[in-house]
Structure 1
Amino acid sequence: MALDGSYSATMDSPTGSETFGSHILSNSISSLTSPKISRNSSSHISKAYRQASQLFLTRRLPEALSTVLPLITPPTDGAADVNGDTDPAPVARASRSTRIKVWSLYITILNAILELDPDEGKDAFGTHEWRTLCTKVREGEVWEEVVQFGYHGVEGDVDADVVINLATLLLAHARSQVLNQRRLENYLASSTIPNLDISQRLEASQSPRFSSRSRRSHSKGANGADTPRDLNARVKILELYTLHVLLRNNEWDYAREFISASSILDEERRDAFLQALQSLREDQDESERREREEKQRQEDKLKKDIEEARKLRAENEARERRRIEEERARREGSEIDYGIEQTPSTPGSSKARHKRVSSSLSKSSARSPGSKKKKAVTRRPSMSARALMIIANIRNVIEQMGASFKSNPILLLKFIAFVASIGIMLGKRSVRERIQRILGTGWNKVKTTAGMGVKVSYI
């Protein structure tokens, strides 16, 4: 298998032999000099982990977070050594499996908190604490917190499973994947370089604060993976880095080059990665093509709607012009009745009346040859015809308004705002009284004017 071949190649190479010898020597030194975690401390961490897990499973996120925080936070009253370093968090002294479980649970709790609705999160944690937690994850501060509190500030000492969880968390919630890319690159670079300084290992193994760091550093080979589990975790990190983070940053060419030059991947995995990258590229191109087509379809639909609204407006205007011309024609046809009055016969007035009738008839006959025919055809519309005409006009106005609102939605918002402002104004008593006074004054003027018109007509 490729895994066995890679491991044998590492063991057979000079660098692999030196690393393997350093690994055995470091294990011996650590077993003689590094202090063991007390049974009470290990029991306390396990008990707190189980309690936090139960609280998380029952969706009691605030209690679960408060239970796991003491395990990953350095003690506030810890004394500093000569280098100014404080005591690490309790989880840093735990075994590798316990350390991975605690950090993974913490990251999982943070992910569940950020998936809450804003109102629900603020009710559960408070506005300030909720925003602090969201900022910690979205700005990538949680990664630095894990490195400093759990791994003594050494990027390459972070367990691969914890790195996978951190990268997945930032991939889901970070505002930008630039920080995620930089962190993964630092981890891949630092975890690949083996540490062959025996004096540094001796010094680190004698310090209880760096015992976990020593155990972590000598467990890696030249390629950062000495066991099948480490290799699988390493491949998973490469998958997140090349097929997710780099693609989110639109670095397709660099991802292809990184996969082709990676020493962790064998030929089979490299081909699978390149094939997956090609498939993702095709999917993105297809998605972009569909988006362009959808955008073009929406633009065409908008143009079509605008054109239909323009045609409808033109038809309405033509219909209105025909109606106005018909009204004008009816008024002109009825003008031949002007001047004919029914007055009592008086001596000497029949001759003058005959002259007026003759003059009116001569004018109407000289107006147009078909005026008599138009008069004969034209008749006053009935009440039902007038009602239908009014309804048609109202429908035309509504259609014009609908077309205008469809082509210009802002006009609808302005109309709604205008109606709302009128409603607000009419809701005030002073405004209503003032409008009533104005209408009353206007109505009195209209009645006065109508009365004067009646008097003049009577005279």
Structure 2
Amino acid sequence: MAYGGSYTASFNPAMSSNESFGSGLLASSISSLSSSGSKRISPVSKTYRQASTLFLTRRLPEALSTLRPIITPPNSADDGEPAPVTKSSRGTRVKVWSLYLTLLNSIIELEPEEGKDAFGNQEWRALCTKVRDGSIWEEVVKNGYHGIEGDVDADVVINLATLLLAHARDQALNQKMLENYLASSNIPNLDLNDFTAPSRRYQSPARRNNGANTPGDLNSRVKLLELYTLHVLPQNNEWDYAREFINVSAVLDEERREAFLQALQSLQEEQEEQERQEREELKRQEEQLQKDIAEAKRLKAENEEKERKRLEEERQSRETSEGDYGIEQTPSFNGVGRAEPPGSPRNTVARPSGKSKSKAATTSGSMTITARATLILTRFRQVFESLASSVAGNPAVIMRLLVFTMGLLIMLGHKATRQRIEQMLGASWAKVAATVGMGTKVSYI
């Protein structure tokens, strides 16, 4: 986002942090290669150019190993000797630290397997952890600016905040470090006619050549405010604080203040709309889950009801098949058409005696035999129906039945066979007649 054309390499709320970070710092690294001066090149600048070339050719491990000697204090420096980059000019310091932060951003964006193959498992995890937990900020302040947060160059702070905005686990540390820097760093002079006037405030060696109270200083300050109010604070849901900070800021003019407030309002509305859509989606999913549960319960109840009815029908079928088919006592009716109770005088049957008793016993016995015969015939009918359905579904059974029938007819064609069958049927019928006669005598008795 550019306000009034004051700067172009800035954050756009619609652009992701990774895109802004990579494009801004990479452009800075490329432009630094083309600005080779005719003067004598310092060792730090020479090392920086070598590391830049390795970085642009995607040789990340070599670029990191080349850059490390100038951004870390010597190992044998027990007297607190700082890193070589602290003795360089402001421009060189900014370029070195910007390249280092860009390199870390590229390393942390590697795939896990690719990063472990390039740097080793332990070193790659250490580099990622250093960025994600925010300790990279303390490393830059300690090694490059003598541990004084207010002395850090504004462009380096912008790159640090952007790196944490893209990869940190949360933005609480980022907000804290930006607030400390804004509170402790120099406030630029807004009088544009006094850019060349030297600053009367004492500055540490790291900031004597920072170009304080210059247009570049002002642009960097505006970028910091944009990062802080439009990116970091919204990530922490500090909307009211961000709006208040913009209103009281002495760095912003009316045009920029209005642009910042409009951008902040747009971001807040966008986030609220996104949260509303997420709530609606969550509510829809919950309602769908409730419907699915209710449908599952309904299907379960229907299945249980069907199973209960099936079991009831089977039980009734068994009771009907195995029950007694004898004559049940039927209630008699009185003159007005109402049934008499079983124990009433009208419904009481006199006990037969003599010949009447024998006749009643014979009738009862004959009726019982009839019911049993009916049951037997019913069973035979069911067997025949089952056989007919089996034959209809299996043509091979029909062929077997035809073959059996033809064989039976051939057997009956022999005279001796017919005589033998007649003898067997006659003997069987005699036995049946004798059995029925014995049954009749017993019933009579």
Q: For the structure 1 residues 313 and 79, does the alpha-carbon distance in structure 2 shift closer, same or farther, using more than 3 Å as the test?
A: closer
1:69 is aligned to 2:61: no
1:95 aligned residue? 89
Q: Is this contact kept in 1: 2:55–2:63, CA < 8 A? A: yes
Q: For the structure 1 residues 127 and 329, does the alpha-carbon distance in structure 2 shift closer, same or farther, using more than 3 Å as the test?
A: same
What SS does the aligned partner of 1:192 have? coil
Q: For the structure 1 residues 142 and 357, does the alpha-carbon distance in structure 2 shift closer, same or farther, using more than 3 Å as the test?
A: farther
2:212 aligned residue? 220
| Larger relative contact order, structure 1 or 2 (CA cutoff 8 Å, min sep 6) | 1
Q: 2:125 aligns with which of 98, 120, 131?
A: 131
Q: Is this contact kept in 1: 2:153–2:207, CA < 8 A? A: no
Q: Is this contact kept in 1: 2:90–2:209, CA < 8 A? A: no
1:305 aligned residue? 292
Q: Distance in 2 between matches of 1:79 and 1:265?
A: 45
2:20 aligned residue? none
Shift in Å, 1:58: 2.9
Shift in Å, 1:138: 1.7
Q: 1:279 aligns with which of 260, 266, 283?
A: 266
1:320 aligned residue? 307
1:239 aligned residue? 226
Q: Is this contact kept in 2: 1:73–1:149, CA < 8 A? A: yes
1:412 aligned residue? none
Q: For the structure 1 residues 126 and 357, does the alpha-carbon distance in structure 2 shift closer, same or farther, using more than 3 Å as the test?
A: farther
Q: Distance in 2 between matches of 1:383 and 1:55?
A: 90
Q: Distance in 2 between matches of 1:384 and 1:236?
A: 94
What SS does the aligned partner of 1:288 have? helix
Q: For the structure 1 residues 381 and 375, does the alpha-carbon distance in structure 2 shift closer, same or farther, using more than 3 Å as the test?
A: closer
Shift in Å, 1:49: 1.9
2:281 aligned residue? 294
Q: For the structure 1 residues 356 and 105, does the alpha-carbon distance in structure 2 shift closer, same or farther, using more than 3 Å as the test?
A: farther
1:256 is aligned to 2:255: no
What SS does the aligned partner of 2:209 have? helix
Q: Distance in 1 between matches of 2:373 and 2:281?
A: 66
Shift in Å, 1:197: 6.7
Q: Which has the larger radius of gyration?
A: 2
Shift in Å, 1:273: 0.6
2:43 aligned residue? 44
Show CA shifts across 1:126-185 (max 9, x none).
Answer: 232222212211221111111121122222221221111100111111122121111111
What SS does the aligned partner of 2:157 have? helix
Q: Is this contact kept in 2: 1:152–1:213, CA < 8 A? A: no
What amino acid is the match of 1:55? L
Show CA shifts across 1:262-292 (max 9, x none).
Answer: 0111111100110111111111111111111
What amino acid is the match of 1:270? R
Q: 1:331 aligns with which of 318, 321, 326?
A: 318
Q: 2:141 aligns with which of 126, 147, 171?
A: 147
Q: For the structure 1 residues 254 and 364, does the alpha-carbon distance in structure 2 shift closer, same or farther, using more than 3 Å as the test?
A: farther
Matches within 5 A, 1:339-358: 358=367
Shift in Å, 1:328: 2.9
1:359 aligned residue? 368
Q: For the structure 1 residues 170 and 126, does the alpha-carbon distance in structure 2 shift closer, same or farther, using more than 3 Å as the test?
A: same
1:177 is aligned to 2:171: yes
In percent, how many aligned pairs have the same letter?
61
Q: Distance in 1 between matches of 2:145 and 2:119?
A: 28
State which drifts further: 168-177 or 185-194. Answer: 185-194
Q: Is this contact kept in 1: 2:86–2:93, CA < 8 A? A: yes
CA RMSD for the aligned pairs? 3.8
Q: Distance in 2 between matches of 1:249 and 1:153?
A: 27
Q: Distance in 1 between matches of 2:181 and 2:372?
A: 106
Q: Is this contact kept in 2: 1:147–1:154, CA < 8 A? A: yes
- Note the residue ranges of structure 1 that are not aligned, 5 or more in a row: 4-38, 81-85, 205-209, 340-351, 366-370, 387-459
2:330 aligned residue? none
Q: Distance in 1 between matches of 2:199 and 2:58?
A: 46
TM-score computed with the length of structure 2 as normaliser: 0.61
Q: Distance in 1 between matches of 2:143 and 2:233?
A: 28
What SS does the aligned partner of 2:306 have? helix
Q: 1:110 aligns with which of 104, 109, 132?
A: 104
